Structure 1
Amino acid sequence: MAERPAMSDRTATFVDLVIAIILPPLGVFLKKEFWICLLLSFFGYLPGIIYAVWVIITN
């Protein structure tokens, strides 16, 4: 299976970040961190965004 080009990876990361800002749990849904992000989003929108962006950037 061929690797995706670097531009495609950056585009996917950008889309993930935009989704994480709009709806934090959805941004990390496929990254197995959904429940933590959902819980943080219930406590406040900003903690959910911060956690979602951190998960996307570090993975």
Structure 2
Amino acid sequence: MGILQTIVAILIPPLGVFWKKGLGFQFFLSILLTIAGYIPGLIYALYVVVLSGD
């Protein structure tokens, strides 16, 4: 986890997920959650970026 990745995930949640996981299911889920509301997308992006074991 990097500080820059966390900042990007806060500002643009799907971009943070894309940067961490690439173009896949988690990225598209992040887009859907962000469209549904910024807060759900933000929470999911922070979960992926901060708690991801990769």
| TM-score (normalizing by structure 2) | 0.79
- Gapped regions of structure 2 (runs ≥ 5): none
Q: Is 1:52 matched with 2:45?
A: yes
1:14 equivalent in alignment to 2:3: yes
Q: Indicate the percent of aligned positions where both proteins have the same amino acid.
A: 42
Amino acid at match of 1:50: I
CA deviation vs aligned residue, 1:21-40 (integer Å, no higher than 9, x gap)? 11000000031421010000
Aligned length: 48
Secondary structure, counterpart of 2:14 in structure 1: helix
| RMSD (Å), alpha carbons | 1.2
Letter in 2 for 1:57: V
Using structure 1 for the length normalisation, give the TM-score.
0.73
Higher Cα Rg, which structure: 1
Residue segments in structure 1 that go unaligned for 5+ positions in a row: 1-9
Tell me if 1:23 matches 2:7. no
**Deviation >6 Å, runs of 4+:** none
